[in-house]
Structure 1
């Protein structure tokens, strides 16, 4: 199983330091979340900067809220980032659930699932050079696409439009979600198995209190769910190792350690734990 780092959003100016440390370590991927009405850096712009600061590690949106964006421009941006990074870009997509983001972009949240399906069909055409919109991505057919989801219609989207599944759920939910995605994958006639990427929140060292506060602020609108998420955060090397074993046993191909504290030393601490 591979490991990745979910980048904190609190101090964007530190992210090149995070990226270089991850690039030198045992990590496969750098992930970055997406919101509009929040104090976070725009992910495609930020990952483009980090592509220039790294040589090996992959760059992943986790997840980009595609229905908030126009599909031709998004396809061009994704292809450009994939091309300039030498094929190191993964486009993680989701529909989002916060109405303020849709209000800010003038989009209708009621039809966001249907919109994403239509966007994917259009972007696949663009990446195959069917519409004359370039550049061609470095990855034939377009960058790797993963979907974050929980409900069955969204999980089916992995098989219909994607290459894999982003699962931001605790271990007790993961087995059932993975099994559904694999079943939908087979029903769509695919061979093999989609890529399964799990995510868990982590804070090591002096970043624990800062990380808990950041989680509570980001997910504050969810009430008890936010508090439970903050409480489930892994805060010791032993917890990190046990979680890694659990997700590996469940069949995850990669585990993203999402860091909410802003101290880049966390990347080194995590590297020591998983090496």
Structure 2
């Protein structure tokens, strides 16, 4: 099973080291989350820097909050990053849900689903030969994965995407993957959607695990229940990580991204030993 690393955001200046170590290891991708009101580095800018510091590993947003952005510029940025990285970029997209972030950019969060659909159409048109360049390295635009939990988000995969980013707990992931695959078949899409699972991990001494938990509670401070649930699902042992990867394999995932919350860079080598 291909395994990627989800990059921590607490120490942006360390991410070049993370990326280069991962590029030298057995990992297939580097994922980076998106938030507006938080101390995380902006994903497209950061992944562009990491593209120049790496040779073969893929780079993907997990997920970029599209409704907070203007679609024509986003299409140009994504195509440019795909072109400069030699086709190594995957654009993972979602709608987001924090009202304060939508308020900050003047977008009504109640319209985010409709706005997202419109953005996807605009970007697909641009990548198919619209007046905005450059052309991406991949015909028709970079690979697009769509993340989410609700039925409309799952149905968007067949309408607009190349695959599905599944960040749900394993107890729910199977039903989501089944829904996405059924929607894909109903839409008459050939083959099957690419499925990328995501698990949260912290591998190392207790200080690393505690730092990860602190980051989780800070990141999800707007929703105490979500923070507690995410912290509860944190995988902290090699056995737990291997088991989760195996479960996603059984569900038909094509890749699993181990999302690291602690900025302890030595986790790259520890995870390499686990999956190697």
Into which bin does the TM-score normalised by the smaller protein fall? Answer: over 0.9
Quick one: distance in 2 between partners of 1:224 and 1:37? 19
Deviation at 1:259, TM superposition (A): 0.1
Deviation at 1:154, TM superposition (A): 1.1
Residue aligning to 2:211:
210
Residue aligning to 1:143:
142
State how many pairs are aligned. Answer: 274
Paired residues for 1:51-62 under 5 Å = 51-62=51-62
Quick one: distance in 2 between partners of 1:225 and 1:36? 18
Q: TM-score, normalized by length of structure 1?
A: 0.98
Quick one: distance in 2 between partners of 1:243 and 1:66? 29
Alignment deviations for residues 84-143 of structure 1 (CA, whole Å, 9 cap, x no partner)? 00000000000000011111111111110111110111111111122x110000010000
Structure 1 residue ranges without an equivalent (≥5): none
Quick one: distance in 2 between partners of 1:31 and 1:180? 24
Paired residues for 1:33-182 under 5 Å = 33-130=33-130, 132-182=131-181
Quick one: distance in 2 between partners of 1:48 and 1:202? 25
Does the alignment pair 1:20 with 2:20? yes
Residue aligning to 1:228:
229
Quick one: distance in 2 between partners of 1:154 and 1:172? 19
Quick one: distance in 1 between partners of 2:80 and 2:229? 39
Deviation at 1:271, TM superposition (A): 0.5
Quick one: distance in 2 between partners of 1:69 and 1:82? 18
Quick one: distance in 2 between partners of 1:81 and 1:234? 32
Deviation at 1:74, TM superposition (A): 0.3
